[in-house]
Structure 1
Amino acid sequence: MARIAGVDLPKNKRIEIGLTYIYGIGLSRSQEILEKIHLDGNILVHNLNDTQIVAIRDILNNEYQIEGDLRRVESINIKRLMEINSYRGKRHRTGLPLRGQRTRTNARTRRGTKKTMTGKKKAPRK
């Protein structure tokens, strides 16, 4: 099992797909990385040798922001938006959608589950 950037890559998947399990790497970036080290994307993760894994690690560490660093930068950007009281910062603070979606219906993921008549007592049975 290959461990890159603190993430265990699934051993029975192609390396092209396996790299997408790392936060901050999608399919296009994964293909770009494999092109740089002249590696075929169809090789399974458990068939990689140590030199290939080290080459992938070196590229990721030197050229890309991934995992913890990327999460930290994103959270700092969101905090900055909230501090300067921008529209997007206010939406982040209230937990509403930020990109113009409607909120009268839909938006269930961002707003939470529907609560109907909380605290209402049931009528006693006779």
Structure 2
Amino acid sequence: MIRIAGVDLPDTKSIEIALTYIYGIGRTRSKEILNSLDINPETKTKALTDNEISSLRERIEKNYTTESDLKRLVALNIKRLVEINCYRGRRHIQGLPLRGQRTRTNSQTRKKTAGKQSSRRFK
């Protein structure tokens, strides 16, 4: 099992899909990394050579913000919005959708978690 950026990648999946298990790397970025290193995206994770694994690990850790660093950055951005009391920050506090989505009939999941956090009812 290969470990990159603190995440164990599954052996039986193609490397293109396996890289998406790392927070901050999606399909597009995965393809970009593999193309730059000349690795076939269809290769199974367990079939990679040691050189390919080390070059993958090095490229990801040096050039991309992933896992805990990225999660910390996102949390700080949300905290900043809350502190300056902007519209999006207030929506985060209330647990409601941020980007103008309809709330009368949709967003039930977001509203349920909001109801548990605050005593205010939303209709």
Q: TM-score, with normalisation over the residues of structure 1?
A: 0.87
Q: Which runs of 5+ in 2 are unaligned?
A: 116-123
Q: Which residue of 2 aligns with 1:87?
A: 87
- Separation in structure 2 between the aligned mates of residue 109 and residue 63 of structure 1, nearest angstrom: 35
- Separation in structure 2 between the aligned mates of residue 57 and residue 20 of structure 1, nearest angstrom: 14
Superposition deviation, residue 89 in structure 1: 0.3
Superposition deviation, residue 105 in structure 1: 1.4
Q: Which residue of 2 aligns with 1:110?
A: 110
- Separation in structure 2 between the aligned mates of residue 51 and residue 15 of structure 1, nearest angstrom: 15
Letter in 1 for 2:54: V
Letter in 2 for 1:79: K
1:32 aligns with 2:47: no
Tell me the secondary structure at the aligned position of residue 93 of structure 1: helix
- Separation in structure 1 between the aligned mates of residue 14 and residue 66 of structure 2, nearest angstrom: 20
1:1-126 residue pairs with structure 2 within 5 A? 1-112=1-112
Please report the RMSD computed on the Cα atoms of aligned residues, expressed in angstroms. Answer: 1.2
More helix by share: 2
Superposition deviation, residue 108 in structure 1: 1.0
Q: Higher Cα Rg: structure 1 or 2?
A: 1
Tell me the secondary structure at the aligned position of residue 55 of structure 2: helix
Query: Aligned pair count?
Result: 114
Superposition deviation, residue 51 in structure 1: 1.2
- Separation in structure 2 between the aligned mates of residue 81 and residue 107 of structure 1, nearest angstrom: 21
Letter in 1 for 2:15: I
- Separation in structure 2 between the aligned mates of residue 97 and residue 84 of structure 1, nearest angstrom: 18
Letter in 2 for 1:9: L
- Separation in structure 1 between the aligned mates of residue 60 and residue 112 of structure 2, nearest angstrom: 36
- Separation in structure 1 between the aligned mates of residue 74 and residue 5 of structure 2, nearest angstrom: 18
Q: Identity over aligned residues, as a percent?
A: 55
